Amino acid sequence: MGQEIASDRFSEADLARFTTRLREETALLARWFAEGRIARAPPMLGFELEAWLVDTAMCPAPRAPALLDALADPRVVPELSVFNIEFNGTPLELGATTLSQLATTLGEPLERAQRLGEDLGLRVVTIGTLPTIDAEQLDIETMSPLARYRALNARIFALRQGRALSLIIDGDEPLELHWHDVMLEAAGTSFQIHLQVAPEHAARVYNASKILSGPLVAISANSPFLFGHALWEETRIALFEQAVSVGGAILQERVNFGQRYAAHSILETFEANLARYPVLLPQCSDEPPETLTHLRLHNGTIWRWNRPLIGFDDDGRPHLRIEHRVIPAGPTVADAIANTALYLGAVHALSHDPRPPEQRLPFPLAMAGFYDCARAGLGARIRWLDGREHQVATILRDDLLPRAHRGLEALGMGADERGHWLDIIAQRLARRRTGAAWQRAWVARHGHDMYGLTAAYLARQRAGHPVHQWSID
């Protein structure tokens, strides 16, 4: 949930000062766009991976501080709950073998965490929703001891005027809960892709990312069980949107698919941040406006499924990234990199298509397709660029996989590199075996044993073979 802050208590004066600084920095960013100040360096690719900690009995283990101390790695950081940790990848310049390099960048710290975790009686699991977590385990006592989390909790409930959060998700075994803190959000973990883009092309990439969100969530789904209930193929989508709801106008909800495509510039989203979203963390800074401290902190509390981010290069020049947030954690490193290959290649191809896809697929249909794919996974039927409705599996096989090959080739990746990673997607499609599908198949074979499911999942994850090769024996 972003950078740490100094305090979890704020005054009306803090809020007024922060809002003034936010307005000033948004205007400054607009000038930078107009003046061409945003970096146009070669595109870079990075990631964030959230993970679960369990003990040897597959129970959630609230031991993140101990493992983080043992790791002593600035790239591995706390998450909202002490059941979770987050791995941050060093950005890589796109080139011939970037995806294989990314696999190493992800796999090495994850394997080290596994080794050190075993000394502490812990196992690291990358899965969207952990089957063995109970809602009762997620309360303020298991919140990571960072000021920003307590402040977010307090501010969200202040905006809700103290009203409980409602978590209502349909599915095979519908779930309804009412909760008095934001900790339910910790029940879902993700793999977030960061793609640095040139400012003049960012709106096209942003819009293409939205269009891809439905197919990407269908092919990567890995969250079918939550608190013992069989729900959506990617239940994490509904979970996150409801678990931090401020309870006001839908335009102010902090987790969302968005309201429209970018019309002209990605700057529009930062202007919307200022105009529509109440400030959650009014932590004021004496840093100069050129650091965009307040703009970046505010943007970090608005969790669009596709989110533009402003960062700075080593030489201090601002750059722009698109964060693609729809993909869950797991099942394996190979699956995560294959998902990245599909997204990277397809978003490049779509965003360079002479016929902009956002002109062919109305935004409400892209949004409806996203939620249909989160519910039904590869079984969803959605509207596509030809104006017709198709099985999303057909769209992936006949349209997006070929596009991804072309996009990766245009980015300089050779046939072996793109073939290796995209073949994992092709095999997953052919066998209809996502992480969610494997979990459901295991339960159908072995019964509703969430501990047995987690143990079987972890054993296969540690073996490293992509999920389409997993057995359910």
CA quadruple 73, 76, 81, 82: dihedral, nearest 10: -40
Q: 298 and 19 in contact (C-beta within 8 Å)?
A: no
From the list 468, 375, 389, the residue with the least C-alpha distance to 429 is: 468
Question: What's the pLDDT at 1?
Answer: 40
Q: 207 and 324 in contact (C-beta within 8 Å)?
A: no
Residue 12 CB-half CA count within 13 A: 0
CA angle 461, 242, 79 (to 5 degrees): 45
Question: What's the pLDDT at 250?
Answer: 77
Give the dihedral sign, CA 250/251/256/261: positive
| CA–CA distances in Å: residue 163 to residues 246, 253, 254 | 10, 15, 17
Neighbours of 288 (CB within 10 A): 10
Diameter over CA atoms, the chain: 62
Q: For residues 93 and 319, give the distance between their C-alpha atoms in angstroms, rounded to a whole number.
A: 14
Question: What's the pLDDT at 248?
Answer: 75
Tokens standing for residue 181: 């803190």
Q: What is the mean pLDDT for each group of 10 consecutive residues in the chain (473 residues)?
A: 62 94 98 95 92 98 98 96 96 95 97 97 98 96 93 92 95 96 97 96 98 98 98 98 88 90 97 95 94 97 97 93 98 98 98 97 98 98 98 98 98 96 98 98 98 98 98 94
Packing angle of the helix pair 199-220, 415-431 (nearest 10 deg): 40
Q: 242 and 236 in contact (C-beta within 8 Å)?
A: no
Tokens standing for residue 208: 């293409």
Residue with tokens 């009306």: 12
Neighbours of 37 (CB within 10 A): 14
Neighbours of 112 (CB within 10 A): 15
Q: 291 and 24 in contact (C-beta within 8 Å)?
A: no
Q: For residues 65 and 74, give the distance between their C-alpha atoms in angstroms, rounded to a whole number.
A: 13
From the list 378, 374, 371, the residue with the least C-alpha distance to 428 is: 378
Residue type at 326 in one-letter notation: V
Residue with tokens 């409400």: 364
Strand partners for 141: none
Q: How far is CA 250 from the centre of its chain?
A: 21
The total number of residues written for the chain in this structure: 473
